[in-house]
């Protein structure tokens, strides 16, 4: 006879996969709170929502009575278990059995007058219907309680999530404001008085090697970056005046920022290596030259509108924030 079914030990184990899926679902559901904690929170809310002094309803007391062991507000009368034995039977002990027999024997005579069977069947059915509705009522009441409880549980869970998200949003908003202010501050570090700014040529001449080294920095990493710094220092020395000084300040700030972001070490959601975007922006700054400083060296994602998109500060606005 061919073998009966057997469980194959293959690379795929459905039981194991299902266990993992269910564990993952449980994990997702209880991110911050355990199920027990959530239930406790929900119970508190339930009391609050269904406070009989505040809500014109006796729902909570009703449910409480139902939840108490053996507790029901008004105990309904006991259902009458009806069958044909009750019609013919007798409770008189030994003689009862004889009476029952005699009644059954006389049943055909009784049937000459009327047929008791439909009555027995109807009463039997009515008894079953009563039992059914009683059971249904009990079940529905318990179900209602569970339903309300679960709804409150979900509302509590959602409330907590909303609160968390609000806090997170506020935090992000604060950070965004701060970044915005810092960006504007950096942009306004270098300001030109009309007519008093340096000639573009020396600046471009000073930045040309920076741009070349920036490209090298992208290729060669840290060593090339050091080379960029050296070239910039040379540039600072070679080209005196406001813009060059401002460039040196920006470079120092960039180095400080790099140091800070390196310490934080958090990759952004765009993926890639930490700091790679900053490098790119930095080298881009070199490549674009010193065209006023806007758009260079700020760690914005290329997809987001950077400071370049903001209105450029007008000449004479010498405000450092």
Partner 1 sequence: MKLAVVVQRYGLDINGGAELHARYVAEQLARRAEVDVLTTCARDYITWRNELPAGESQVNGLRVRRFPVRRERDPRRFGRRSHHVFGSAHSLADELAWLDSEGPASTALVDFIRRHERGYDYFIFFSFRYYHAYHGIRAAAPRALLVPTAERDGAVGLALFAPIFRGVRALMYNSFEERAMIQAAAGNDAVPNVVVGVGSEVPASTDPERFRRKYGIASPFIVYVGRIDENKGCKELFSHFDRYTRAVRGELSLVLMGNAVLPVPDHPRIRHLGFVGDDDKFDGIAASEALVMPSYFESLSMVALEAWALGRPVLANGRCDVLQGQCLRSNAGLFYEGDVEFIETLALIQSNRRLASALGRNGREYFQRHYTWPVIVRRYLDMFERLRAEDQGGAAPAPMEPLPGWFARRRAVCRAGDEVVRELPAGPALRSGRRR
In the complex, the residues that contact partner 1 under the rule CB under 8 A are 1-2, 4-8, 10-15, 17-18, 21-22, 24-25, 83-85, 124, 128, 132
Q: What is the DSSP string of 166-192?
A: HHHHHHHHHHHHHHHHHHHHHHTTS--
Minimum distance of partner 1 from residue 96's CB (angstroms): 17
Is the CB of 101 or the CB of 233 nearer to partner 1? 101
Distance CA 243, CA 256 (A): 20
Pick 14 or 109: Cβ nearer partner 1: 14
User: Rounded to the nearest whole angstrom, what is the least distance from the CB of residue 122 to partner 1 in the complex?
Assistant: 12
Q: Read out DSSP for 6-18?
A: -----S--HHHHH
The count of other CB atoms within 10 Å of the CB of residue 121 is: 12
Nearer to partner 1, 100 or 276 (CB): 100
For partner 1, give the closer residue by CB, 128 or 312: 128
* The two three-digit tokens of residue 308, written as one number: 């370049």
Smallest gap from Cβ 109 to partner 1, in A, equals: 20
**Which of 270, 260, 297, 267 shows the shortest CA–CA distance to 183?**
297
Q: How far apart are CA 103 and CA 98, in angstroms?
A: 9
Query: Residue 214 CB: number of other CB atoms within 10 A?
Result: 25
Nearest approach, Cβ of residue 82 and partner 1 (Å) = 10
With respect to partner 1, which residue has the nearer C-beta, 57 or 126? Answer: 126
Residue 130 beta carbon to partner 1: minimum distance, rounded to whole angstroms: 12
- CA–CA dist 102, 95 (Å, integer): 11
């Amino acid at each position: 006879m061919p073998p009966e079914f057997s469980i194959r030990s293959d690379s795929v184990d459905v039981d194991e996969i299902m266990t993992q899926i269910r564990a993952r679902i449980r994990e997702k559901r209880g991110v911050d709170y355990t199920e027990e904690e959530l239930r406790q929170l929900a119970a508190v809310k339930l009391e609050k929502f269904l406070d009989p002094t505040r809500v014109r309803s006796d729902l909570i007391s009703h449910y409480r009575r139902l939840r108490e062991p053996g507790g029901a507000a008004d105990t309904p009368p006991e259902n009458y278990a009806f069958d044909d034995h009750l019609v013919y039977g007798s409770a008189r002990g030994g003689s009862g059995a004889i009476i029952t027999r005699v009644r059954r024997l006389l049943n055909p005579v009784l049937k000459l007058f009327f047929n008791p069977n439909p009555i027995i069947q109807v009463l039997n059915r009515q008894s079953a219907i009563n039992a059914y509705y009683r059971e249904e009522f009990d079940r529905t009441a318990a179900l209602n309680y569970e339903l309300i409880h679960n709804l409150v549980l979900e509302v509590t869970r959602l409330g907590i999530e909303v609160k968390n998200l609000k806090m997170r949003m506020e935090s992000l908003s604060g950070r965004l404001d701060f970044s915005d202010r810092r960006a504007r501050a950096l942009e306004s570090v270098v300001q030109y008085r009309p007519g008093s700014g340096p000639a573009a040529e020396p600046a471009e001449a000073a930045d040309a090697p920076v741009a070349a080294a920036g490209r090298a920095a992208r290729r060669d990493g840290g060593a090339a970056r050091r080379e960029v710094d050296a070239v910039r220092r040379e540039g600072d020395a070679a080209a005196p005046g406001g813009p060059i000084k401002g460039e040196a300040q920006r470079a120092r700030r960039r180095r400080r920022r790099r140091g800070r972001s390196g310490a934080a070490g958090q990759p952004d959601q765009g993926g890639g290596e930490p700091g790679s975007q900053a490098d790119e922006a930095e080298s881009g700054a070199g490549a674009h030259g010193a065209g006023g400083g806007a758009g260079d060296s700020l760690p914005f994602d290329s997809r987001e509108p950077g400071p370049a998109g903001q209105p450029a500060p007008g000449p004479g606005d010498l405000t450092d924030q």
